[in-house]
């Protein structure tokens, strides 16, 4: 394929062990589908039917998980879902790339919302307790009193790639089963842990670690109390919960940005 007139996008999994250049003759065309795996992963697909990918780095960490509808390739180190192929539906047989991996992407603009649907600030339709799981079912979660919680999303480097849309409940309201089946990814100051199912790659929850005890001990008492409350949280990915229609909910979004990510994590200048 002649790529001399193409627009080139740089992309990678979060840890950078898989990097690529995406060549497109047309602007990025986002496709969201209703397949269960794609919904749990929040995939934003770009078809490679009239595009091409040049892999610039591959450390051998990519693994494949197949559902009945989708072939899914994700990084076994950081859990980023990068590539796919639909086995059914409108995109049957097409190779796909998850554009959440593209550097500099504005994920808030890229993910189209169905504005005609009536939105609610509460999880009014969710039962209590609310159940959820990864796609293969090895990691399960149960959240009590979901209706009391706000839905939050930000555009930092990891949440963009993981399509993280979270509720932040106290740990006493969250029950997890199958945590032995996850791989945990940490980076930077390692204040948070980002586990994902080792088999299917789905991110069900986060772990909150916070700063070292030696740092906390030097803080004013009011700051210590904030950290104590945060350490009691068990964030859960709403995309994996049963009976929750994300498009119908108001999402509290914050612009965290990706300052320092390319330099510190990817080693770019």
268 — pLDDT class (breaks 50, 70, 90): confident
Residue 185, domain CATH: 2.170.150.70
More confident residue, 95 or 145: 95
- Sheet containing strand 152-154, edge to edge, reads 233-237, 166-170, 152-154, 252-254
Alpha carbon distance 59, 18 (integer Å): 6
| One domain for residues 144 and 260 | yes
| One domain for residues 169 and 63 | no
- Structural domain includes residue 115: no
- Structural domain includes residue 118: no
Q: What is the DSSP string of 67-116?
A: -SSEEEEEETTT--EEEEEESSSTTBT-EEEEGGGBTT--HHHHS---TT
Question: What number is the average pLDDT over the span 202-228?
Answer: 90
- Structural domain includes residue 125: no
| One domain for residues 102 and 153 | no
- Structural domain includes residue 24: yes
For 141, the token pair is: 């979660």
| One domain for residues 164 and 38 | no
Q: pLDDT tens for residues 79-91?
A: 999 999 999 988 8
Helix or strand or coil: residue 190? coil
Q: What single-letter DSSP state applies at residue 156?
A: S
Whole-number average pLDDT of the chain: 89
Does 1 have pLDDT greater than 60? no
226 — pLDDT class (breaks 50, 70, 90): confident
| One domain for residues 178 and 73 | no
- Residue 5's pLDDT is 73
197 in Cβ contact with 180 (< 8 Å): no
Domain boundary among 75, 110, 145: 110
For 6, the token pair is: 């193409």
Does 114 have pLDDT greater than 60? no
- Structural domain includes residue 124: no
pTM to 2 decimals?
0.89
- Residue 113's pLDDT is 41
- Structural domain includes residue 175: yes
- Structural domain includes residue 123: no
39 — pLDDT class (breaks 50, 70, 90): very high
- Residue 23's pLDDT is 96
- Residue 119's pLDDT is 44
- Structural domain includes residue 63: yes
Q: Which domain holds residue 200?
A: 130-264
The number of folded domains in the chain is 2
| One domain for residues 257 and 142 | yes
16 in Cβ contact with 188 (< 8 Å): no
| One domain for residues 238 and 207 | yes
């Amino acid at each position: 394929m002649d790529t001399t007139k193409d627009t080139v996008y740089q992309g990678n999994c979060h840890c950078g062990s898989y990097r690529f250049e995406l060549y497109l003759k047309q602007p990025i065309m986002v496709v969201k589908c209703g397949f269960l795996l794609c919904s749990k992963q929040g995939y934003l697909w770009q078809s490679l039917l009239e595009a091409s990918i040049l892999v610039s780095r591959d450390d051998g960490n990519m693994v494949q998980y197949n559902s009945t509808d989708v072939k899914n390739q994700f990084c076994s180190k950081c859990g980023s879902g990068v590539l796919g192929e639909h086995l059914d539906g409108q995109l049957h047989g097409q190779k796909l790339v998850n554009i959440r991996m593209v550097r500099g992407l504005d994920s808030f603009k890229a993910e189209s919302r169905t504005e005609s649907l009536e939105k609610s600030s509460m999880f009014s339709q969710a039962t209590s307790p609310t159940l959820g799981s990864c796609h293969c079912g090895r990691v399960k979660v149960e959240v009590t009193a979901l209706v009391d919680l706000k839905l939050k999303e930000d555009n930092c480097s990891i949440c963009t790639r993981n399509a993280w849309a979270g509720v932040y409940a106290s740990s006493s309201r969250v029950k997890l089963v199958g945590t032995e089946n996850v791989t945990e990814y940490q980076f930077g100051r390692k204040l948070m842990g980002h586990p994902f199912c080792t088999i299917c790659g789905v991110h069900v929850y986060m772990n909150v670690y916070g700063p070292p005890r030696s740092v906390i001990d030097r803080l004013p008492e009011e700051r210590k109390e904030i950290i104590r409350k945060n350490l009691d949280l068990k964030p859960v990915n709403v995309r994996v919960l049963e009976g929750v229609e994300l498009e119908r909910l108001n999402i509290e979004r914050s612009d965290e940005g990706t300052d320092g990510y390319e330099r510190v994590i990817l080693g770019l200048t």
